[in-house]
Amino acid sequence: MRNVRVEDHDHLPLDVLPIGTEYPPDFLLARHAHRRAQVLYGAIGTMLVETDEGSWTVPTDRAVLIPPGVEHEVRMLDVTTWSLYIEPDAVPWWPTSCTVVEVGPLLRELLRAAFDLPLDLDVHGRDGAVLDLALHELQRVAPVPLSIRLPAEGVLRDLCRAYLADPDVHVTNADWASRASVSGRTLDRRFRAATGVGPAVWRVRARLLASLPSLRTASVTDVAGRLGYATPAAFTAAFTRAFGVPPTRFR
């Protein structure tokens, strides 16, 4: 099913509703929640998913597993999505927090096939077999640590959201302390309590996550320079420490 609203078909007696949607560049899908669990896969482009808990960056050929009932917004950076909306009882193993996962060749082709299924799909024939196998494959996916924790509310959350939208290597703790009208020590203490890390460490991870859309088209050397790294090797080392794989995996 293509470019239809899940709300219009949620009543159907199907464990899995496959829906594909094409979005214009830089489209913001406003905050919402679904009764069903959702697999949100980006066939092309990059998605930025935000909840009260944090922010997840979903590059091409990865997916994010969204728990039922979790409010989220999604910024679509020139994205075509293939989604599965799944009855919670059909996936008792589903994660309780948003999780970015790798999508292997078999699961990708299953999602592609599901994208073309008709509304009156045959759950007892090939259509149902495609969706059943997709659920089996989803239990085998590997998580990817492409997320960052956000403060729950207040000025610290506002600072973090603004930085994620426009990361600047020149921003300092003193800049943030001034904007929050607190001392540097107070900022550090409150920020660690809210996110588990200091603000400088948080900003480094935010900049590395922000590099993912650029890595689709730009060289590692160019991206490293934009982020303020002295050499591509320094950027590659920091990226690999943060995400477990080198940036070339995302080109």
CA atoms within 13 A on the CB side of 118: 6
Over the chain (251 residues), the average pLDDT of each successive run of 10 is: 77 91 90 96 91 95 96 92 95 97 95 88 92 96 96 94 91 96 96 96 96 90 92 96 92 74
> Quick one: pLDDT at residue 78?
82
- Beta-carbon count within 10 A of 18 CB: 25
By three-state DSSP, how is residue 135 classified? helix
> Quick one: pLDDT at residue 171?
95
Sign (positive or negative) of CA dihedral 86, 87, 88, 93: negative
Q: CA angle 141-208-235, nearest 5°?
A: 110
Considering only the C-alpha atoms of the chain, give the largest distance between any 2 of them, rounded to a whole number of Å.
65
Residue with tokens 């203490």: 189
> Quick one: pLDDT at residue 3?
67
Distance CA 152, CA 156 (A): 8
Question: Do 40 and 58 form a contact (C-beta atoms < 8 A)?
Answer: yes
Query: Of 131, 97, 98, 99, nearest to 112 (Cα)?
Result: 131
> Quick one: pLDDT at residue 15?
94
Residue type, 205: R
Question: Do 86 and 92 form a contact (C-beta atoms < 8 A)?
Answer: no
> Quick one: pLDDT at residue 247?
94
Tell me the C-alpha to C-alpha distance, in Å, between residue 209 and each of 7, 167, 169, 186, 233.
Answer: 32, 10, 13, 26, 17
Looking at the chain, the number of H-run helices and the number of E-run strands are 8, 8
